[in-house]
Amino acid sequence: MADSAPKLLVDGKRIDGRALDELRPIKIVARVLNDAEGSAYIEWGKNKILAGVYGPSECIPKHDQSLYRSIIKFRYNMAPFSGLEEHGKSGPSRRSRELSKVLKEAFENIIISESFPKTQIEIYVEVLQSDGGTRCAALTAAAVALADAGIPMKDLPCAVAICKIDGHMAIDPGKEEDNYGESDMPVAFAMRNGDILLFQMDGMLTHEELVQGLQMAKKAAEKIHKIQIDAIRKVYDEPKEERLLLIK
Amino acid sequence: MEIIDEIKKDMLFSFLSKGRRADGRGMMDFRKIVVQPSPLQNAEGSSLVAIGKTQVIVGIKFDIAAPFPDKPDEGILSTSADLLPLASSMFEAGPPSDESIELARVVDRGIRSANTIDLKSFFIEEGKVLALYIDIYVLDHDGNMFDASALAAMQALLCTRLPKIEDGKIVRGEYAGKLPTKDKVVSCTFGKLGDKVFIDPSLDEERGMDCRITFATTPTHICAGQKGGWGAFSYKDIVELSELAIKKGDELRSLLRD
Amino acid sequence: MPGELISEREEHISYAYVEKGKTYSTVVGLYSNGKIVPLEGPYDPLAEDTVVGVITEIKFAGYSVDINYAFPAFLSNRESKEKLALGDAIIAKVLSVNEVKDVELFEAKRLPAGSLVRVSPVKVPRIIGKRNSMIDMLQSSTGCQIFVGRNGYVWISGKGNDILAEKALRIIEVQAHTQGLTDRVAAFLREHR
């Protein structure tokens, strides 16, 4: 990186004016697509992400089938126009393949797949606009889409990242904090018992910092979980025949 | 799946033979159309369009590229379409399908033929031009992706900002005014089953019909056409529908915002 | 909500999950009288279910039937009095479901010409109504014969107003969890007849 790192923390406030334990604004709308069995749209900061779910349907190719459970497929994809930078390349990058894998594994713990032998459940996430922290927003939206589809799950998981900026632990790094921060640690929780379903980390942290970060993440996850539940409730509190994606 | 197509065909036929459509609208009525300009901010231009339950988002990006050798003073226009797997259980993840390539090329031809964008203005310096990428993302498929995509592409172009260029490079996040556009191009697609012709086919209608024809138009001209499906249109059909496409196109054009 | 604690004890009920002696919901649903009624979800075939299906393949010993499940069900020749053709709609009952969810049907009857509508399978009880009240109202107001399968396939036939029937079905589907639905549907049907 040729640019010098900007100062990420001034008088205890972050670049976008947030406090260390403050999330960016999060908005979730469930059931925005017609053909998908379940769907959800999330705005998290400037991230704009759409999730859709299909299944259980016949698992194709057949050699992937399991007689004991449903196979979970997860595709995380970034639109070529999602970033502020140059036009994206088509086809999955190494990054998006890795993310698809860890996200899929998080849901393998949660979806009660034994109910549907020989089938597959497909989860598709499309990042329409990216602003740092897309994997956490993707997991959070995918969980709502799965619940909307009525796929049985042990939990309604959500995710948030923790970062270290100018020597302090903070939650939910924005794009610049992601790029210039000293550490980045996305974590997904099962809310009923606090189990950790996704964990990645880079940068340097002491053990104390890691534990402090996890505690902050858990607290933030509770707020996110409430937003997820409200989004699902809204589908039934204000029933609509029309399913339409509305983006300001 | 084939069986369900046959059933759809029977259902469609019994409706159309009584001169009506399964959702109750007239033969030459579009479904409800919702146009949202600029839903995205990182892209230089964007729009989200719904025709009935079909939803399409279009994003526009600029890059700097080398011009094509045969047109050294012209910029590049590149249109592609993704039929996202979340849009339909019929779509699969992976390389572009024939269907998505056809869709992108028909939208591209309309915009290109009408000179909606002046590609000559994209010249920066010897060996350097602007490349404009139109990416069509089909989010929800309930038929007539062509007209939804063309409408979304046009609306996205209308709200596209030109990138700021310094020292032959794009300064991201800064803009140099609006992209100038000429005539507004939209398309109208007609389906045919037996001798019945109808506009804006839904997915059920698409699955049952014999063929379709798309006309892209400006307020004065027809600027692209594409027939698809195994069936055939009569000479008279083409004469009448190409005229109607301009008239119906005006209805669509009135939904666009500058 | 999935993962929501329902009981501090072990309760073995549908759409619930027991972990360390406690019971959690696995779906978005309504919980009352020790039962979870899911608000959305795929068709999960059970023996004795009445289903509507479409013949998708003719085999030596019987038929493959699309019943809105991941895999087609099997209908033996012995279980169908009439000879069926590809694309025929039938109403039948589920004879058996084995451990890998292969479904066999019996007591099949061919349905008259009509159209197929797919609704959310969990909304079917509401579409039928208490003692068939909702479906009777739909049939009498639209003049259509309507066959509702537990699997979420609905077959609308006859010379009635099938467009109106489908519209009414959609209203019931979207508002299935609300109160006073029968009255609203009745009003809708009166208004549009």
Question: Which three-class secondary structure string do you get for B98-125?
Answer: HHHHHHHHHHHHHHHHCCCCCHHHHEEE
Domains, chain C, with CATH or none: 5-38 (no CATH), 50-110 (2.40.50.140), 114-192 (3.30.1370.10)
CB C99 within 8 A of CB C106: no
Measured CA to CA, the distance from residue A161 to residue B48 in angstroms comes to 30
Residue type, C137: M
- What total of structural domains would you count in chain B? 1
Contact C44, C26 (CB under 8 A): no
Helix axes C162-174 and C181-192, enclosed angle (nearest 10): 150
Chain B residue closest in CA terms to C114: B11
Query: What residues of C are in contact with residue A116 (Cβ under 8 Å)?
Result: 42, 70, 101
- Can you say how many angstroms the Cα of residue C3 is from the centroid of all Cα atoms in its chain? 26
Please state the rounded mean pLDDT for residues A42-59: 95
Which of A172, A152, A219 has its CA nearest to residue A191?
A219
d(CA B120, CA B74): 5
The C-alpha atoms of residue A231 and residue A28 are separated, in whole angstroms, by 6
Q: Is residue A245 part of a domain?
A: no
Nearest CA in chain C to B22: C163
- Are the beta carbons of B137 and A129 separated by less than 8 Å? no
In a domain, A54, yes or no: yes
Q: How many CB atoms lie within 10 A of CB C34?
A: 10
Asked if A247 and B36 come within 8 Å (Cβ–Cβ), the reply is yes
- Per-residue pLDDT tens for B167-222? 989 999 999 999 999 999 999 999 999 899 999 999 989 988 999 999 999 999 99
CB A125 within 8 A of CB A49: yes
Cβ atoms < 10 Å from Cβ of B220: 9
User: Cα separation of B183 and C80, whole Å?
Assistant: 62
Q: Scanning every residue of chain B, which has its alpha carbon at the shortest distance from the alpha carbon of A60? A: B92
What average pLDDT does this structure show over C176-183? 90
Residue of chain B with shortest Cα separation from A56: B89
Shortest distance, CA A86 to any CA of chain C (angstroms): 40
Provide residues of A within 8 Å CB-CB of chain B.
33-36, 39, 46, 48, 50-54, 57, 75, 77, 79-88, 90-91, 122, 124, 126, 128-131, 243-248
Taking residues B126-136, what's their average pLDDT?
96
Question: Residue B69 has what pLDDT?
Answer: 94
SS3 B170: strand
Provide the domain limits for residue B184. 2-253
With bands split at pLDDT 50, 70 and 90, how would you rate the model's confidence at A3?
A: low
Q: Which run of H or E residues covers position B254? A: none
Q: Per the domain annotation, does B258 fall within a domain?
A: no
> For the purposes of burial, counting CB atoms within 10 Å of the CB of A11, is it exposed (0-12), middle (13-18) or buried (19 or more)?
exposed
Q: How far is C46 from chain B (nearest CA, A)?
A: 24
Q: Tell me, yes or no, whether B13 lies in a domain.
A: yes
- pLDDT (average), residues A19-23: 95
The pLDDT score that the predictor gives to residue B202 is: 95
Q: Which percentage of chain A shows pLDDT scores above 70?
A: 98
pLDDT in tens, C79-117: 888 888 888 999 999 999 998 899 999 998 999 888 888
Report the DSSP pairing between strands C73-76 and C62-66. Answer: antiparallel
Q: What is the pLDDT of residues B66-113, one digit of tens each?
A: 999 999 999 999 999 999 999 999 999 888 999 999 999 999 999 999
Question: For residue A17, is it within any domain?
Answer: no
User: Which residues in chain C touch residue A112, judged by CB atoms under 8 angstroms apart?
Assistant: 17, 26
Beta bridge partners of C105: C75, C94
What does the alpha-carbon distance between residue A219 and residue A171 come to, in Å, rounded to a whole number? 10
Mean pLDDT of chain B: 94
DSSP state of C161: -
Mean pLDDT of B134-139: 97
User: From CA B162, how far away is CA B7, in angstroms rounded?
Assistant: 50
Q: Is the predicted pLDDT of residue A171 greater than 70, yes or no?
A: yes
Q: Is the peptide bond prior to A186 cis by the omega test (within 30 degrees of 0)?
A: no
Number of domains in chain A: 1
- A129-143, B41-55, B226-240, C175-189 — which is least confidently predicted? C175-189
Helix (H) or strand (E) holding B83: strand B76-83
Pick among A37, A90, A128, A242 to test the B interface (most B CBs inside 10 A): A128
Contact indicator for C115, C66 with CB cutoff of 8 Å: no
Residue to substitute from B7, B15, B21, B142, interface C, most C β-carbons within 10 A: B7
A117-126, B15-24, C120-129: least confidently modelled range: B15-24
Q: How far is CA A26 from CA A136, A160, A221, in A?
A: 12, 11, 12
CA torsion through residues B170, B171, B175, B176, sign: negative
Token digits of residue C157: 């036939």
Query: Under DSSP, is residue A129 helix (H, G, I), strand (E, B) or coil?
Result: strand
| Cα B152 to Cα B150: distance, rounded to the nearest angstrom | 5
The kind and range of the H/E element at C8 are none
The answer to whether the CB of A123 falls within 8 A of the CB of A75 is yes
Exposure string for A215-240, b = 16+ CB within 10 A, e = fewer: ebbeebbeebbebbbebbeebbeeee
Any domain includes A246:
no
Q: Is B131 on the interface with A (CB under 8 A)?
A: yes
C1 in contact with A, Cβ within 8 Å: yes
Q: How far apart are alpha carbons B20 and B154 in whole angstroms?
A: 31
Which DSSP helix (H) or strand (E) runs through B243?
helix B235-253
pLDDT score for A201? 95
Residue A12: inside a domain, yes or no?
no
Write down the pLDDT at residue B2.
61
Give the span between the Cα atoms of B98 and B228, in whole angstroms: 12
Residue A190 within any structural domain of the chain: yes
- Closest Cα of chain B to C163: distance in Å? 6
Two structure tokens written together for B197: 């012709």
Q: Convert the pLDDT of each residue in B61-76 to its tens digit.
A: 999 999 999 999 999 9
Question: Does position B1 have pLDDT exceeding 80, yes or no?
Answer: no
- Say if B49 falls within a structural domain: yes
Interface membership of C163 toward B (CB under 8 Å): yes
Task: Please give the C-alpha separations between residue A38 and each of A29, A106, A140, B19, B210, in angstroms, as whole numbers.
Answer: 12, 18, 14, 35, 32
- Residue C190 burial (CB < 10 Å; 0-12/13-18/19+)? exposed
The H or E element containing residue A217 is helix A207-237
> Across the interface, do A150 and C39 touch by the CB < 8 Å criterion?
yes
Residue A220 lies in a domain: yes
Distance separating alpha carbons of residues B121 and B73, to the nearest angstrom:
9
Share of chain B above pLDDT 90, in %: 86
Asked if B86 is an interface residue toward chain A (Cβ–Cβ < 8 A), one would say yes
Taking the complete model, does pTM exceed 0.90, yes or no? yes
With CB atoms and an 8 Å threshold, state whether B24 touches C66: no
Largest CA distance in chain A: 59
The mean pLDDT value for C43-50 works out to: 93
CB atoms within 10 A of CB C31: 16
Distance CA B254, CA A117 (A): 51
Can you give the CATH number for the domain in which A166 is found? 3.30.230.70
Which residues in chain B (208-237) have CB-CB distances under 8 A to chain A?
none
CATH number at B69 reads 3.30.230.70
Q: Which residue range is the domain that position A58 belongs to?
A: 22-237
Residue with tokens 């499309």: A126
CB nearest C26 (choices: A55, A67, A153): A153
Q: Which residues pair with residue C57 across a beta bridge?
A: C64
**Straight-line distance from the first to the last Cα atom of chain B, in angstroms, rounded to the nearest whole number:** 43
Listed in sequence order, the residues at least 6 apart from A226 whose beta carbon sits closer than 8 Å to its beta carbon are none
CA angle, corner B32, sides to B91 and A233, nearest 5?
Answer: 70
Interchain pair C115, B22: CB under 8 A = yes
Higher per-residue pLDDT: C99 or A6: C99
Asked if the C-beta of B6 comes within 8 angstroms of chain C's C-beta atoms, the answer is: yes
The packing angle between helices A94-108 and A134-149, to 10°, is: 40
Express each pLDDT in A52-96 by its tens digit. Answer: 999 899 898 888 999 999 999 999 999 999 999 999 887 889 999
Q: What average pLDDT does chain C have? A: 91
